[in-house]
Structure 1
Amino acid sequence: MDPAQDHPDNPFGMDPDCRNCPDLCDERTNVVHGYGDVGADFLFVGGRPGPGADRTGVPFTGDPAGERLQRILGELGFAASPPDADRPELDDAYLTYLTRCRHPDRGPTDEEVSTCDPYLTADLRMINPEIIVPIGTRALRGIAVEHTTRDAESLDAAESHATTIRGRGFELVPMRTLDDQTDAETEAFIEHVGESVLSRDYRQTKGRSGAHD
């Protein structure tokens, strides 16, 4: 983790009691803002908090889906903690969501995603990642519509899983939704990042070097 960083929890001080989406305020347990290394090259973004994250207040923790991601992070050298940690020890990785509150009975509405967009935009600007990993189709399309020249509605996380898509200023490495991911798909993602991303100097291919989609 960045040695100048005090703590990994909500490091940019975003509103922990946000009430911008009235239908979510009485349903959530926690507002789940970003967590991790503010100097990270890799930013992982899901569509909404899972039930575990809603309980712990930390993205991708407290449930089987979160444990799968934490295992992936450990395999790639981004996590030094066990997969079931409620507060993972992360290095070079930052975790966040399109929307910060969980409704137990439905996914986020388009209005809720739009209302939460300033939080995600702030994360992206402050972290300035080299690689973004959208987890699930909702996250992939939400990132692609603003940050690539691709037709966002044509993108599907299952079809694009463990591939690289060039974006404006960074690369996208989509991941299938953790709840639906098979062990083989998990291994394919780890292999792709390990062999096709980490094995090369990805910093030389990102948009600030003049490469765009």
Structure 2
Amino acid sequence: MDEQCRNCPALCETRTTVVHGYGDVGADFLFVGERPSPAADEVGVPFAGGGVGGEDGDGGEDDDEDRLGQRLQRILQRLGLCVTGSDPNRPELANVYLTNLTRCRDPERPPTDDEIGTCEPYLNAEIRMINPEILVPVGERALFELATEYTTRPASEFDVADDHATTIRGRGFELVPMVDPRNQTDDQTQAWVEHFAQLMASDYRQTKGRQKR
């Protein structure tokens, strides 16, 4: 992975760090967000929890984006996939790998289609390297991109709110979409945790023809 990537000149001017994937390289579960948060841009770790010890900030724009990492880490802790009390900027993860559609951040806007396409080889390389059982698209944009690549249905047929806390049979992987944790209601969070816990307790490794590592 290129830590000095210059493929998107506009993003090179706004980023602090190129944020590649992070976590357990033997993981069964790979979570994919849209772009690095402010905290991730600073420390180089996707879904970093920010500098507030995992607590919600004061409501500013950067706090809102970092809250995504904070809340996702809490969900992972409930499932036993993240060590409670570990550094929220470099959490201790087990059986989980975290990444994004794009590696760099513009603080003023989401990534363009061209930028996501330019970063796609990095994401594909991570998916091949990890060879997970389950892909978790976090948010609508990630669901659209992963559904385009890994399902046989048109991506326009999927909706992250409708498909939240469900399992979608894909091509080579199963997808378990998640509404952006910042926007989840308590009921949505509970539904996703319960669904994923049931999946973890099942014979999910036998649900598809998985390539050997």
Q: Same fold (TM over 0.5)?
A: yes
Contact 2:86 2:92 in 1 (8 A): no
Aligned to 1:11: none
- Which of 156, 159, 179 is matched with 1:156 structurally? 159
1:177 Cα shift?
A: 1.3
- Which of 198, 203, 206 is matched with 2:205 structurally? 203
Q: With structure 1 as the length reference, what TM-score do the two structures score?
A: 0.88
* RMSD between aligned residues: 1.4
Amino acid at match of 1:208: R
- CA distance in 2 between partners of 1:142 and 1:82 (Å): 33
- CA distance in 1 between partners of 2:162 and 2:38 (Å): 26
Question: Is residue 175 of structure 2 the alignment partner of residue 172 of structure 1?
Answer: yes
Correspondence list, 1:1-213, <5 A: 14-61=1-48, 62=50, 63-82=66-85, 85-195=88-198, 197-208=199-210
Where 1:119 maps in the other structure, the secondary structure is: helix
Among all aligned residue pairs of Structure 1 and Structure 2, give the percentage whose two residues are the same amino acid: 63
- CA distance in 2 between partners of 1:175 and 1:51 (Å): 21
- CA distance in 1 between partners of 2:134 and 2:46 (Å): 18
Q: With structure 2 as the length reference, what TM-score do the two structures score?
A: 0.88
1:83 Cα shift?
A: 7.0
1:150 Cα shift?
A: 1.3
Aligned length: 195
CA distances 1:154-211 after superposition (whole Å, capped 9, x unpaired): 211121111100011121000001221222211111111012x0121101112439xx
